[in-house]
Structure 1
Amino acid sequence: APDGSCILTCSDDNTLRIFDLPPPPGPPPGAVPALRVPEGDTIYDFTWFPLMDSSQPPTCLVAASSRDNPVHLWDAFDGTLRGSFRAYSHLEEPVAPHSLAFAPDGSQLLGGFDGAVRLFPTHRPGRHCQERRGGQGQRGLIGCLAFSPTQPVFACGSYGRSLGLYALEGGGALALWPHLPAAPTHLCFSPDGNRLYAGGRKDHHVLCWDLRRPERPLLALERRVGTNQRVTFDLDPTGRFLVSGDTDGFVTVWDTLTPPGTGDPPLLSPGDLGVIMSPPPHPSLHPGLPLLATASGQRLFPAPWDSDEEGTDEDGPPPGGGQSPTALVVGA
């Protein structure tokens, strides 16, 4: 959470869970969530309200997008619905964004749709929104969004393997990278707003651009992502250390102030942290303490020939599927 008081997770049962963190130097959080919030279908994305402060309950909000449902704004204390943002296609059918991001001041909520971003005013839940299209340079589903913490600009990555930087007030792209090696699935600005990091699906690098010289990537941070699953990463509050998981189950940290090696773009060597978990781990750094939380898990489907029941091959697989449990680890 933005105030560091709790951890928000999402699982394959279409449920959001919030785990409370005790104040330091208390014990690690228990396995029982403080709050469960079920969504109606597959959850595409979820995010905290950026001004969330546990001492001010009206600010404790979570936005979540799920398939064929409006974007829901949930109360993080009691799980009640505080508002909905509805989007429709040109055929007046409900559509849900695949990515979400709040403006740093919480005044607007961005949703990534097919070839477009829609801006919803948070003070006015409902259908009202402004649509921004990427034009000829950026097509495809907008799968990830990020706001600059220092300027009124945002970045969006599409499944068409493009990345764009746009001003909040409107206009065309301030910068556009139309031919990336992979489709971006996660974006992150540095705290000073000068750097933009992007990681993609089936890609072996997190790329970093210096937005003051955006012509070519500044750094490449090597990690293995061998699937289409979104594998997230995070920066510490100073912007110096970047932490990422990979599909082999490793959690790696990079010191972004270390001089890079050779290559085009220059390759940055990882540091010493090497936690191994069930793949792929998704890390999140505490905003004020030296704590790292990771959650991991993946959907598992039974093979057609796997069955505990006696019978012939024509009986087919047993009903239902399996999934690995979500692991939650907190450590210094």
Structure 2
Amino acid sequence: MEDSINLSTSMCDGEASLLNHNVSFSSTMVTSSLDHSVPKLSVTLSDAEILRLRLRQPVNGSTSLDATAPLESNQGDGTLQEDETESERVIDIEDTLEITADKSQVGAGDQEPSWVAPLEYFGSKIVELGRRTWSSSAKAQQYTKGCYWSPDGTCLLVPVHFDGMHVMELPTDLYSEPTVQETRPLTKLQSAVHVPEGGTVYDCVWFPHMNSQQPETCFWLATRQHEPIHMWDAFDGSLRCSYSGYDAVDEVMAAISLAFSHDGQRVYAGYKRCIKIFNTSRPGRISDDYPVKFAISCIAQTSEHPNTLTCGNWHGYIQHFDLRCSQRLGPLFTLGGHKGGITQLRYGENGSGEWNLFSGARKCGKILQWDMRNYKKPVVEFQRHVDTNQRVQFDFTPDRRWLASGDTRGAVNVWNLQELGEASVLPLHSDCCNGVGLNPVIPILATSSGQYHFTDRNTHRDTLKDSKIAEQETTDDPNPDQLEVIYENAVIMWWCGQGASE
């Protein structure tokens, strides 16, 4: 961020919060009309030289800018011919070097992240890195509702019932360490940003091109009860803008589900009877409406076909829409296989052009994998325990090799998608594990736990604790405000990569 912080090196040295640096908006965005393969030079070049760089043809006729390669000669005596024009001078390789923070010179194409080898997941014992807990009372129970990593892997978004939304940053020492010791001190996770919204957060989603070094891209969308869609700044938690949906009597409707297009130019919002498509750069109430028959509970989109949407609804069906077709045609096809309402849809594309859709639902003990080219029945069923109407997340590793899901018994189920064997069950929580998120950059697993518990002392006497009368029997019911729910409400980060040792 400040002074163009390098996430792979400099970030681990910052003691202050990453998202709280003073940032100059004018210096963080650098645009260029050149091809991305052209090195960034520190000298002013002529138009002819720029053209040669774009064609990867230096002035001496060689095919690369390698300083170690011998220069070719056009004369038999090994000497170079003089340039015909003064502008056609040889570019010194040192002119293409950049000065790093430690005063050392690094080639523009030589900067590599600290993670050189492919990331390994779930190859050894997982190690707890840090946690954050919330206390609850019988009057106002606070519990997490999932966890969402930012696309650049720097921070974690956690909605909490009756406590708004929290953004917690990844501990800075993890950016430069390829392994984690089991004796590493436990980090007490703190909220870098807290949006104290009340009520129920229905859904939230990060901007797909979020980059902490570009503050204008650092935001997320959230929808909550009786409110329009809000865009929240990830640096200070301020409200940037809103996208409003209105019903037939011109009253604000709350969106049930949210999704960005892959290019980030459009916002898809699922409502009870329609899908609204907003232009990201044009907040307000102007949108394109696509009517549907059922409430849209979740949305997914494949990168190969940006004009189609796959939507789930509370009736347990998955419908695939082509937004270019007439609205009268309805969905292209409908999938059924879950008993309850659909809570999550994700495409697990493996790079070979296959459409692998994964779906989860309420009170349904399975995750279904569909091949969208032949959607008559699911390809694979992954078994998990989901006994409530709560949304229980699942997520993939960046290489799409591993699938991880929480369940209502507090465990995390992990499947190897290449072997399709039995799930590895990791008992990480003592209460419902509703959120699972795999960092897209570093092998770190984030999990969140908690759910609503009934506080009727006659039927759930063992779930309550009187904070005033500890371990004393009494015939009088205590003040409900003094009752504390003793179940776990926490978010935890775990190291799930290779090399964890004592």
TM-score (norm 2): 0.59
Whether 1:97 and 2:249 are equivalent positions in the alignment is no
Deviations 1:250-277 (A, max 9, x none): 101111222xxxxxxxxx5334352431
Aligned residues: 318
Question: What letter corresponds to residue 213 of structure 2 in structure 1?
Answer: S
- Do residues 147 (structure 1) and 274 (structure 2) align? no
1:287 corresponds to: 440
Distance apart, 1:170 and its partner CA: 4.4
Q: Residues 219-268 of structure 1, C-alpha deviation per residue, up to 9 Å, x if partnerless?
A: 1000010000000100111222110011111101111222xxxxxxxxx5
Are 1:181 and 2:342 counterparts? no
Hey, what does 1:238 align to over in structure 2? 399
- For the residues of structure 2 that align with 1:227 and 1:63, how far apart are their CA atoms? 26
Change (3 A) 1:170 1:106: farther
The 1:203–1:133 alpha-carbon spacing in structure 2 relative to 1, beyond 3 Å, is same
How many Å apart are 1:216 and its aligned residue? 1.2
Alignment correspondent of 1:328: 492
Is the Cα–Cα contact under 8 Å of residues 338 and 361 in structure 2 kept in the other structure? no
- Kindly indicate which of the two structures has a greater share of residues assigned to strand: 1
More helix by share: 2
Mapped contact 1:155–1:163 kept (Cα < 8 A): yes
Q: Does 1:2 align with 2:159?
A: no
1:198 to 330, 354, 359: 359
State the distance in 1 between where 2:403 and 2:323 align: 26
3-state DSSP of counterpart to 2:424: coil
Residue in 1 that maps onto 2:167: 18
Per-residue CA distance 1:97-121 (angstroms, 9 max, x = gap)? 1111111111111111113211111
Rg comparison, structure with higher value = 2
How far off its partner does 1:14 sit?
3.7
Q: Which residues of 2 match residues 20-99 of structure 1 at below 5 A?
A: 20-21=169-170, 22=172, 23-25=175-177, 30-99=188-257
Taking structure 1 as the reference length, what is the TM-score of the superposition?
0.88
Matches within 5 A, 1:218-233: 218-233=379-394
Contact 1:144 1:184 in 2 (8 A): yes
Does the CA-based 8 Å contact 1:244-1:251 persist in structure 2?
Answer: yes
What SS class does the counterpart of residue 145 from structure 1 fall into?
strand
8 Å Cα contact 2:370/2:379 also seen in 1: yes
Provide the alpha-carbon RMSD of the alignment.
2.4
In structure 1, C-alpha distance between the alignment counterparts of 2:427 and 2:157, rounded to whole Å? 21
Q: 1:304 to 1:285 in 2, by over 3 A?
A: same
Once residues 94 and 319 of structure 1 are traced to their aligned partners in structure 2, the CA distance between those partners, rounded to angstroms, is 37
Identical residues among aligned pairs (%): 33
Q: How does 1:150-165 map to 2 (within 5 A)?
A: 150-152=304-306, 153-165=308-320
Aligned with 1:45: secondary structure? strand
Whether the 8 Å CA contact 1:300–1:324 is kept in 2: the answer is no
Q: Give the SS at the match of 2:332.
A: strand
> In the TM superposition, what is the alpha-carbon distance from 1:130 to its structure 2 partner?
1.5
Is the 2:271–2:296 Cα contact (8 Å) retained in structure 1? yes
Deviation at 1:178, TM superposition (A): 4.8
Give the direction of change, closer, same or farther, for the CA distance of 1:109–1:319 in structure 2 (3 Å limit). Answer: farther
| Cα displacement (A) at 1:179 | 6.1
Describe the shift of the 1:108–1:241 C-alpha distance in structure 2 as closer, same or farther (beyond 3 A).
same
**For residues 166 and 398 of structure 2, what CA distance do their matches in structure 1 show?**
24
Residue ranges of structure 1 left out of the alignment (5+ in a row): 259-267
Question: Is the alpha carbon distance of 1:178 and 1:220 closer, same or farther for their aligned partners in structure 2, counting shifts above 3 Å?
Answer: closer
